[in-house]
Structure 1
Amino acid sequence: MSPLIKRLAGRAADEILETVRFVAGVAAVWLGLVTFGFAAFHIPSESMQPSLEVGDRVLVSKWAYGYSVHSLPLGLGYVLPDSWNGRLAWSQPRRGDVVVFRDENQSPARNLIKRVVGVAGDVIEVREGRLYINGEAAPRLLEDIRTYREDRTGIAVTVSHYNEILPGDREHEIYERADNDNLDNFGPVTVRPGTVFVMGDNRDASRDSRASGGPGFVPLENVVGRAETVLFTLERCRQEQGLYCPRGRVWSGL
């Protein structure tokens, strides 16, 4: 083999090796992020409309509050002894945070996503559809009236679209079908230490802390992480005259 061919072969081998190292490095970084830092969560229902729509892929930060038994990487939390049921935490959810948590009141247990509206010590009440926190009604401002087609049933539903403001001036959108539905009168209850009270933004289509058989007060050790953004959505609703149809979303904040 001539010296020129040897040099070319050596150069090609070096370039291939560099490419392999680069791909391996990227894969290692990605594996580290999805294992230790983040998880993707698929929205299966309409309970968090209009903030989250069916089909959204949401990025959840596992480390936002520290690690719990359900968010420890590589499934380590499920092999720890039963005597350890806490979390490695340095902060707690705030009112307005959207959290993914493990609902162990269902069989089998599964992950849910809801908005935190009450933290330890808060008195939560729902009166004629209005959310009260520590005796004060959370302000809500009517944005418009919408009619959309339910993903599961195909039925057209008309809702009032509000902007709700929680203590600390944290704003988010909600839907209300009526102010006299099944869960529109609840409490008052005091949120127990070490737990949070959660509700869906689609208030009359959410099985949340208000519901009989729902998750109730969610223990902090059951919180998987905080939803940060909508990465993308794969589903599209059908455009129909007079019906609201959300646009596709990419990297959309909550």
Structure 2
Amino acid sequence: MTENTKDQPQTSAEVKKTVEIKKEESWLEFASTVGLAVLIAIIFRSFIYQPFTIPSESMLNNLMVGDYLLVSKFSYGYSHHSLPFSPPLFSGRIFESPVERGDVAVFRLPRDPGTYYIKRILGLPGDRIQMKKSVLYINGEAVKRERLEDYVRIKNGRQEVFKQYRETLPSGRSYITLDMGYFPGSRADDTPVFRVPEGHYFGIGDNRDNSQDSRFPKSEGVGYIPSENVIGRAEFLTLSFDDQAALWEFWKWFPKERRERFFTKIK
């Protein structure tokens, strides 16, 4: 014969203790969820894709102020600069793949590693790079360029006109550049021959007369770009707004959005 029993009612102290245990478990679960999300974000940002926004016109008109883009971290392998805050855990690159001529790459500025720059890589290790009368020469050969219709825009109520060219590299890769014209004696239009050292790259902005790039010494421009300073390849645009609104300033997004640039591949 089995005797039926009833649960004894909990005292107020027991009920309070049970509630406190549940609250503690809830906070621990919330903290672990947040921690996991942060860890996933750090891994994604460090090893897969890192988001950036364009703050200057040095790559106009391929990249514009207010463009948001994703940079693939895995394209060229990893250096200690790939990690947040650049901890000096190792030197050189691991899983390295070389940058290809014509790639648009993001890198840490050699004189200030806390600053990110983006340029088109046109000089590889061992190359001889020179500008003569606004024309790019690689290893003594002029890069083919085709004159296109002018690029015209209105900025601050004024019309600006740029000469527009399509440059085609020996490999067949092509892209658009802007040029305000040839200015004799300009350090951007007439340069000495730059011999790119081993383990370095040479980057130039597509907006040729508005880019402090490898044509200028490290003290004032970019200089040669060390391989380990390269962060990754700019792959595609996600969003684009022409009033420089921050991504979280959603009230400024519309009607300033450039919808035709949303989710497009960077050439």
Taking structure 1 as the reference length, the TM-score comes to 0.77
- Give the drift of 1:31: 5.7
Which amino acid in 2 is paired with 1:223?
Answer: V
Aligned-partner Cα distance in 1 for 2:82–2:46: 9
Aligned to 1:175: 178
- Give the drift of 1:62: 0.9
- Give the drift of 1:247: 6.3
Per-residue CA deviation, residues 134-177 of structure 1 (Å, 9 max, x unaligned), is 11111111111122245xx7654211111111121111110000
- Give the drift of 1:220: 0.3
Aligned-partner Cα distance in 1 for 2:236–2:242: 17
Of Structure 1 and Structure 2, the greater strand share is in: 1
Aligned to 2:212: 207
The count of corresponding residues between Structure 1 and Structure 2 is: 217
Aligned-partner Cα distance in 1 for 2:178–2:64: 12
Aligned-partner Cα distance in 1 for 2:232–2:92: 14
**Contact preservation (8 Å) 1:175, 1:202:** yes
Aligned to 2:110: 104
Aligned to 1:61: 72
Matched, 1:89 2:118: no
* Correspondent of 1:190 among 190, 195, 200: 195
- Give the drift of 1:215: 1.1
Aligned-partner Cα distance in 1 for 2:194–2:163: 26
Alignment of 1:26-175 (within 5 A): 32-72=43-83, 74-75=84-85, 77-80=86-89, 84-106=90-112, 109-150=114-155, 156-175=159-178
Identical positions, percent? 38
Aligned to 2:265: 253
Distance 1:226 1:126, change over 3 A: same
- Give the drift of 1:123: 0.7
**Contact preservation (8 Å) 2:163, 2:180:** yes
**Contact preservation (8 Å) 2:71, 2:234:** yes
Aligned to 1:223: 230
Per-residue CA deviation, residues 5-27 of structure 1 (Å, 9 max, x unaligned), is xxxxxxxxxxxxxxx9xx99x95
Aligned to 2:11: none
Which amino acid in 1 is paired with 2:146?
Answer: L
CA RMSD of aligned residues (A): 2.6
Unaligned segments of structure 1, at least 5 residues: 1-19, 238-245
**Contact preservation (8 Å) 1:125, 1:133:** yes
Aligned-partner Cα distance in 2 for 1:110–1:29: 24
- Which of 1 and 2 has greater Rg? 2
**Contact preservation (8 Å) 2:80, 2:88:** no
Per-residue CA deviation, residues 66-102 of structure 1 (Å, 9 max, x unaligned), is 0012113x54x4152xxx3311132111110001111
**Contact preservation (8 Å) 2:56, 2:64:** yes
Aligned-partner Cα distance in 1 for 2:157–2:127: 38
* Correspondent of 2:242 among 230, 235, 240: 235
**Contact preservation (8 Å) 1:62, 1:225:** yes
